[in-house]
Structure 1
Amino acid sequence: MSHPSRLRPGQRIGGRYEVIASIGEGGMSRVYLAADLKLPGKQWAVKETPSRPELLQGLQDEAELLISLNHPRLPRIVDFFASDEEGFAYLVMDFIQGVTLEKYFKENQYRLPAGTILQIANQLLEVLEYLHEHEPAVIFRDLKPSNIMLARQLEVRLIDFGIARNYKQDQYQDTVKLGTVGFAAPEQYGLGQSDARSDLYGLGALMLYLSTGGKCSEWKEGVQELIRPDIPKGMIPIIRRLLSIEPEDRYQSAKEVSSVLDSIGMLGTGPVRLKAGRKPGFPGTLVIAVMGAGSGTGTTHTAIAVAHYLARSYGKVALVEMNLQSPAFGRIQRIAAGRTDRVQTGERKFEVQGVDYWRQTGRADVISLLGGSYDFVVMDLGAYFGNDRLEEFLRADIPIIVGSGAEWKHQDLAGLVQQLSSHPQHKWMYFLPLAPQDAVHRLRRTLGTSRVFSIPLQVDPFDQCDEMDRAFVRIFQGLLPVAERRRKFRFGLS
């Protein structure tokens, strides 16, 4: 830093933003936490930069760049103050609660699980794909641990666009050579113009750095010996290709890297932190809520498949029908009991192959189930039509929205997500039965999340299906302990 902290707690910027504390510094800038006096309770990050002409233009460029972007892994710009009488400019943006990857890595003794490394890489690929497909393409150019923030559930945010630039098609090389040594691509040091492949080099450097306990971020002789033995072998050639000296030898797009990771079963493997206080072995009951984006999406079918997978793999499961108008569980109950007559109102609980079904159950009954002996409660909420079951969905440990696998209906799912945008969505997962993988990638970009999954065909959700089990293992990894298949069920409804 070439200047001391200028602002003190209680000072105001633009008459609206009251400084709470200085929370970070780097390069030529300092970042403050500030309260919004017009929106009580709202806090922002304020970036302060000395506004000498060469620095002010950079800050204005950063503001204009960020204002043009809209992605959940990028900060929003909400205000900008050009040079004041003392020569400082201020950029007001989202305050992201969390910790930098650099600090998180250090706090974990420079050893992150392989699944966590893949989770971070997957999320970075999402935002890089968005930036590179922007018109014009945006190149981040400084993909280092201190520029990556980890929010709740290890959600990635890019926080410093100070040296990002728009790609210029007719420019041979970068005018300004910038980037952090060890994470910047060779072309950023004068060997050519940086483009999307430069960011992919940075991703490879980051993955190698995390995989070697911080020992190395460049591919050189003997580096493979430094990679931890628990890192999946399939990751090593991917990292090595990302770190190719020549851009044409690397993968050519973030989408290509995602496809390669997906093809060898490495996407969707990132661990998400368990609910505070919950440890493998499940002291307490874990709640999974399944809600349809519309009618006919297969919500009940999916809830049954999830419940029976959990019963086969773990322990005691309750499957609760929260739609009081649905006849589905009543039909299952008659078939399971070998009856043709209507079941009585009081006969709401019945058992099918290790799963306790609770037919047409109200909120009060669910509360009593949570205090019982179940390891899991899976709630079938039916389709969302502005119903009063939304509260159960929002409170669940694992909220799942089932959408149509047909791509022409994906707008219905995107519309629902937008409709519910006032609610926290970081835990939400999206299941698309039989959706092709390229459609899944497109919807991930639209929704700004990696938690969109294609679900394979399972004709009988009560029965064990190897392909579906593999899908659930990938989807729920990090949320659930490693499953040990306990028994195989057979259930016929014919």
Structure 2
Amino acid sequence: MKQNREREPGYVLGGRYRICRLIGRGGMSRVYMAEDLKLTGKIWAVKETAADRELMGAWRAEAEMLSALNHPRLPRIVDFFDYSGEGNVYVVMDYIGGMTLEAYMRNNGGIVEGERVISFALQLLDVLDYLHSHKPSIIYRDLKPSNIMITPELELKLIDFGTARNYRTGSSQDTVKLGTVGFAAPEQYGGGQSDARSDLYGLGALMLYLGTGGRHSEWAPGVEEAIRSRQPRDLERVIRKLLKSDPGERYQTAKEVMHELRPLTVPPADQPVSAAEAKYSGTRVIALLGVSPGCGVTHTAIAISHYLARQGGRVAVAELNGRSQSFSRIQALLEGEERARAEGAKRFSFEGVQYCRQTSPEDIIPMLSGGFDFIVFDLGSGVDHDGLEEFLRADYPLVVGSGAEWRLPDTVTFAKALARYPQQMWGFCLPLATSEAARRLGKELGTGKVYALPLHLDPFEPWEEMDIALQALFKDVIPEPKRRKPLFASFRRW
């Protein structure tokens, strides 16, 4: 199929996305950097694909698959549409600054040292484990340098899901044979169905490619010498097992490979890595949206932010509810009324948390590149405002509802009002609710992610009961909480 002419800078797609420049191209696709005309300052990547009627289903399947995923190493889908008259379809997703891993190797003369190969592999295993654990499992099938973005902070992001597929139980082989020669597992060329082990083969091929300066991606005589010159001992053994032709002889899960690789990484003696830092994986966004005014969104956002900071994380909490004056009052108590009223003093820090009051949409992008482990968004309440988009894009979207028995149905009504959006990743927080109320609400909502939060008079201080509740909420994100004495008792006067 023939692609239409390349779009010029300034061209507006879908009445909303103004093209800045072309940032990538493939056989049937182009990717543009585009400015959002509705959300000032927002920059997206827009993938344009030429698609006839037969390919339309495949395009929609890719968009729907990605929109249901939520992981810091995957781009988030925020929109998709088509121009049926032109035969083009468009997917709007996170813009990821940086370059492809392929370009990174070129810029570094093809040399990637062993410790960095392992670091990159562990990052990719994190996202592969997430995809393979999805219900149904998602097999990526094309793990190659040009499909991986690397940010200036050396964080990897997996892009281009054009060949990904759901694993079909009971199927003996793939319907379509897709993948890149040199990186795809043997079963992707026929003779079997690709599964999680196929992606692990692709990871082994990628590690070999990185470890040999781009000279090899398949095992052959003499490869041992090429990889041993710059790689840690035992890395060769891991790569060889990943590249076994028989899937049954490879590692069977991403977790197995992580278990093998982690002992090979030893941090320098002068740069100890804390347990929290080992757990964090890039900047993760937690967005809190209230069912109704007064249900405790700001209080909960502050409590979560200080809890995360006490675990060793670098944390910012941003007030995206333009009507709120809560952060201004906090700043006035800390720094005085005059400072709080100053137009240029919208940021202040307290007990390891950076507060950003009355944050505008154009402030978000600098925050995301500010080196934080977590950014907590206080979005206020309601579904009919721009904060809803930030909620839907968040890594951890949390709905805050009233814990009062007679107001529990409000949370159900709220969830039904947003039923058109995927809700698998949502959590529901109920301040002052009983555990039984949370259990009943979870049953009605069809989720196990409903959390009763205890009375916590001072959200700036540690409180054992709240720490236990937040530990359950973030059990897959951070280590167990540390215990320490209260730090800011003066705020108990609130």
**Which residues in structure 2 correspond to 1:26-41 (within 5 Å)?**
26-41=26-41
Is the Cα–Cα contact under 8 Å of residues 140 and 199 in structure 1 kept in the other structure?
Answer: yes
Aligned to 2:193: 193
| Alpha-carbon distance between aligned partners in 2 of 1:267 and 1:230, rounded to the nearest angstrom | 14
TM superposition shift of 1:13: 1.4
The yes-or-no answer on 1:390 pairing with 2:323 is: no
* CA apart distance, 1:40: 0.6
Tell me, in whole angstroms, the C-alpha distance in 1 between the residues paired with 2:226 and 2:65.
38
1:137-286 equivalences under 5 Å are 137-262=137-262, 265-267=263-265
**For 2:87 and 2:305, how far apart are their aligned partners in 1?**
55
User: In structure 2, the residue corresponding to 1:58 is in which secondary structure?
Assistant: helix
How far residue 11 of structure 1 moved from its aligned partner, in angstroms, is 1.5
Residue 354 of structure 2: SS of its match in structure 1?
helix
**Equivalences for residues 95-134 of structure 1 within 5 A:** 95-134=95-134
Distance 1:47 1:293, change over 3 A: closer
TM-score (norm 2): 0.57
1:19 and 2:19 equivalent? yes
- 8 Å contact 1:49–1:56 — kept in the other structure? no
Cα distance in 1 between the residues matched to 2:190 and 2:10:
45
Alignment identity in percent?
A: 50
In 1, the alpha carbon distance for the partners of 2:75 and 2:24 equals 16
Seen in structure 2, the aligned counterparts of structure 1 residues 78 and 167 have a Cα distance that, compared at 3 Å, is same
Aligned-partner Cα distance in 1 for 2:473–2:211:
29
What is the letter of the counterpart of residue 186 of structure 1? P
Q: What code does the residue aligned with 1:34 have?
A: A
Partners in 2 of 1:295 and 1:39 — Cα distance?
Answer: 29
Distance 2:146 2:480 in 1: 33
CA distance in 2, matches of 1:158, 1:194: 19
Amino acid of the residue matched to residue 128 of structure 1? L
C-alpha distance in structure 2 between counterparts of 1:297 and 1:42, whole Å: 27
Q: 1:18–1:34: 8 Å Cα contact kept in structure 2? A: yes
Return the offset for 1:453: 7.2
- Mark the CA change 1:418 to 1:197 in structure 2 (over 3 Å): closer, same or farther: closer
What SS does the corresponding residue of 2:264 show, helix, strand or coil?
coil
One-letter identity of the residue aligned with 1:168: R
Corresponding residue number in structure 2 for 1:479? none
What are structure 1's unaligned runs of at least 5 residues? 274-291, 304-362, 365-385, 402-416, 421-441, 457-494
Q: Secondary structure at the residue paired with 1:120?
A: helix
The total of aligned residue pairs comes to: 318
Deviations 1:247-298 (A, max 9, x none): 0000000011111223xx225759xx9xxxxxxxxxxxxxxxxxx9899999
CA distance in 2, matches of 1:444, 1:114: 32
CA distance in 1, matches of 2:309, 2:69: 35
Give the match's secondary structure for 1:152.
Answer: coil
- Would the aligned equivalents of 2:115 and 2:232 in 1 still touch at CA under 8 Å? no
Could you report, residue by residue, the CA deviation over 1:88-115 in whole angstroms, capped at 9, with x for unpaired residues?
Answer: 1111111111100000011000001212
Could you tell me which amino acid in structure 2 is paired with residue 206 of structure 1?
L
Partner-residue secondary structure (3-state), 1:226: helix
C-alpha distance in 2 between matches for 1:59 and 1:131: 19
Q: Is the 8 A contact 2:79 2:91 kept in 1?
A: yes
Larger radius of gyration: 1
Shift of 1:86: 1.4
Displacement, 1:59? 1.2
What amino acid does structure 2 have at the position aligned with 1:191?
Answer: G
Once residues 400 and 80 of structure 1 are traced to their aligned partners in structure 2, the CA distance between those partners, rounded to angstroms, is: 29
Q: What stretches of structure 2 of length at least 5 have no aligned partner?
A: 272-302, 314-333, 336-348, 357-366, 375-394, 399-471, 483-494
String of CA shifts for 1:318-370, please: whole Å, max 9, x gaps.
Answer: xxxxxxxxxxxxxxxxxxxxxxxxxxxxxxxxxxxxxxxxxxxxx99xxxxxx
Which residue identity lines up with residue 170 of structure 1 in the other structure? G
Question: What is residue 74 of structure 1 aligned with on the other side?
Answer: 74
TM superposition shift of 1:141: 0.1
* Counterparts of 1:400 and 1:19, CA distance in 2: 30
Instruction: Indicate the residue corresponding to 2:322 in structure 1.
Output: none
Pair 1:205–1:269, CA change in 2 (3 A): farther
Helix, strand or coil at the partner of 1:221? coil
Following TM superposition, by how much is the alpha carbon of 1:4 offset from its aligned partner in structure 2, in angstroms?
A: 5.2
Q: Is the contact made by 2:241 and 2:251 (CA closer than 8 Å) also made in structure 1?
A: yes
1:355-394 paired onto structure 2 within 5 Å: 387=350, 389-391=352-354
CA distance in 2, matches of 1:176, 1:89: 22
Query: What is the CA–CA distance in structure 2 between the aligned matches of 1:172 and 1:391, rounded to whole Å?
Result: 53
Aligned CA-pair RMSD: 4.0
